[in-house]
Structures are given as structure tokens and as C-alpha cells.
Amino acid sequence: MKKIILTVITTTLGFSMLSGCSANEAASASVGVRPAFLVDQMQQSPLKEKLAQCSEGPFVRTDFSIGHRGAAMQFPEHTKESYLAAIRSGAGIVECDVTFTKDKQLVCRHSQSDLHTTTDVLAHPELAKKCTVPFTPANPLTGEKAKAECRTSDFTLAEFKTLKGKMDGANTMATSVEEYMQGTPKWRTDLYATNGTLMTHAESAALFKAHGVKATPELKSAVVEMPFNGFTQTMYADKLVNELKAAGFSAAETYLQSFDLNDIKHWVKNNPEFAQQAVFLDDRVFTDKNFKASLANMQELADSGVKIIAPPIYALLALNENGDIVPSDYAKYAKQAGLDMIAWSLERSGPLQGGGGWYYQTINEAIKDDGATMVILDVLAKQVGVIGVFSDWPATVTYYANCMDLK
């Protein structure tokens, strides 16, 4: 994928501030200290030596680095601040997960029903009472957990825009709203969560276009019954594409996403040009206990018009008889069927001591420390052959891609 250079002024935090230059002017990306920290954690190897030699840069933006919800490790996800952090750290493609409000306006949220954990909605009493499930405190005597569910479809766009994003999390044993909202995992931070600016999909598209990055919006599954007040699934899918076009995005600058194969097929039929880079997010590996990858089921996807497939990282990796991380059968069959692959999501699991958790479940035994992050990236890039990697901290992927001269 192509690299794009952007102008930065480095700050003491290891990030960068855009200097007001146009997206076409030459500049560099700032990756901060984390990538070098990860390299330092690696076991001695030729890969470590190679990566260590790149520590001084220079670094430029690359499409191999995809901002997952922006830069959600340290910034409130799907906020302007998170998106800018991803862009400044070299992500060439940035994601807005798309859902809709009560008045059928498209907004950036990972789920239609996550406002109670990703925003301050519960701190607004007049809005909190409109939630599908208003806050109910935990009962310490019985062990019953606190409850709340606030959906974007509970609110108009005007109401949505009064909210602020916060780090995703909730204290489920809270007896008050204030306690409930203090649920940030200890390996993340609230340092950059003081002013999370929520965005519509159209606003995110305009932001991405202004900064010269590509867009990868995901059409999220609705939790409300569709059609929603006359708003059908096809209207929803078409509205997303139309807003990208209105922002000036071409098909080549867009990677539409959906977990629903019917959405991909709809775009193939009705927006064939934009569907050329549509990404089928493959949840079969964790929703269907009987699923087993085969050349036949990968070829079936390709025949339906799918060009790019994106499963969780673990589906693309396996361990060989020596305990080395290698491409999985899934990855091999996808490649044989002519499918491009994107992996998700790096840097989302916290510290990797003890195996790394859900995202690495097929290779847990080979993961001993955070240095495994770079080994995993190397196998995904060189052996699996992915065309990009979603990451909650895009600087890590930017560093690797620049060091390996990935286009």
C-alpha cells in the first residue's frame, strides 16, 4: 500500500501537531516511544536487530497502518481526538464505525448500544432517563451487577452531539453513576480523555479527507429492529456511501466494511466501484462453533464478489511443531482463493504476558511478553501477506511498515 507523508511538529509527548500544511506537502509521522519499547522487549533475533536499526526514522504515513477506532489505546474511541492521534502516528487509513441516531443520522460509534460505556451520557440526567435501560446500581449484598444500556437510537443527533466521549469501560459493581463511569482498564489511561469530541460519519469523512487519509467505515449491525421507522438496511448502506462521495472520496480511497455478507453483496450490486475494496469482516471463526476454513468456503466468498476478508488476528495464525508462529490453514485457503486479507486488532489486549488473550488464542503458548507484538506483525506481513493491520495504537504498525519498507 502507498505511503503518504504528512507535516508534523513533534511535542514532548512523542506525538505531533499538524502545522497547517496541505495534505499534499511533504512531512513525517511521529511514532513516539512505544514501538521502540516493544522492540526492546523482544528476544534477541535478526528481526529485533533489523527493527532496532530503524529507531531514528524517518517515519512516514502508510496504508499498512489502519487506525482501529482511531488510536483507542489511549484516546476515547471514535472521537476527533482519537482520529487525529491515529493520523499523526502514521495511519494511512482510519476507521469510523457507523451507526445511526433516533432521527436516522449516521454517527461514529463501535456499537449502537455502547453510549453508556463510551460517553458521559449517564452524567446527563435528562438524557440518561431516555436510555433503553436506565442506570440501575449494583447490589453488593447479592452480587448483582449494575445495569445500563444507552443506544444512539435513543437520542436525536442534536442530543448525541451534547455528549463527550470517554475511555470505553464501566465499573459493573458501582452503586452510583459516578462510580459506574470510572471503569477504564488500568493498562489504558484517562490522560487524553478530558474532551472526547463525538463525530457524525460525515464529519469524520471530512476530517479524513482534509488530512489526506483513506476511510474505512464499518456499517454496524443495528440492535433495533430494521426497518427502523422506515429506515431500511439498504437505505442505511447507501447513505454511508453517499456521505463518502459527498466528502469527495473516490472508490480507491475507501474500504467499506461489514460483518454482514448481505451488505457486501448489496454494494457489489449497487455500488460496484466502491465494492472493489469492500472488506468482509469474518466472524464465522467465533460465532459458528462448527466453522472450519476450506478452499471451498473461501472460494464461495470470492465468487460472491468479496475481494478482501478480515478476521481476528488469531484466525490467520497457528503454531507449527516447533512452536513457531506460522500462517494458519485459514490464511492459506484465503490466499489460494485470491482474497486479500486484513487483520484486527493489534494493541487491543493490554500487556501480553501470559498469552495475550482472545485476539491471540491460537498462538497463546508462544506469547511471553510484549515483544511478541513485533513478531506477530512480521508473520502477518511476510508470511500471511496481509495488506494492512488494524491497531489501537497505529504508531506500532507505522514503525514496522516503515522499517520493512512496506508500500
Give the pLDDT confidence of 230-278 residue by residue, as tens digits: 999 999 999 999 999 999 999 999 999 999 999 999 999 999 999 999 9
CB atoms within 10 A of CB 292: 10
Give the pLDDT confidence of 118-171 residue by residue, as tens digits: 999 999 999 999 999 999 999 999 999 999 999 999 999 999 999 999 999 999
How far apart, in Å, are the Cα atoms of 348 and each of 89, 313, 328, 356, 360? 16, 11, 21, 9, 11
User: pLDDT category, 93, cuts 50, 70, 90?
Assistant: very high
The domain made up of 3-96+199-403 has a fold known as TIM Barrel (3.20.20)
Which 8-state DSSP code applies to residue 139? B
Q: Where are the domains of the chain?
A: 3-96+199-403, 111-180
Residue 24, pLDDT above cutoff 80: no
Residue 101, pLDDT above cutoff 70: yes
Query: Count of alpha carbons within 13 Å of 279, Cβ hemisphere only?
Result: 26
Question: Could you give the angle at the alpha carbon of 130 between the alpha carbons of 224 and 202, nearest 5°?
Answer: 60
What does pTM read for this prediction? 0.93
Residue 22, pLDDT above cutoff 80: no
User: pLDDT category, 28, cuts 50, 70, 90?
Assistant: confident
User: pLDDT category, 18, cuts 50, 70, 90?
Assistant: very low
If residue 4 lies in a helix (H) or strand (E), which one and from where to where?
strand 3-4
Query: Count of alpha carbons within 13 Å of 188, Cβ hemisphere only?
Result: 23
CB atoms within 10 A of CB 137: 17
Give the pLDDT confidence of 272-306 residue by residue, as tens digits: 999 999 999 999 999 999 999 999 999 999 999 99
Q: Which residues, in sequence order, are CB contacts of 351 under 8 Å at separation 6+?
A: 187, 370
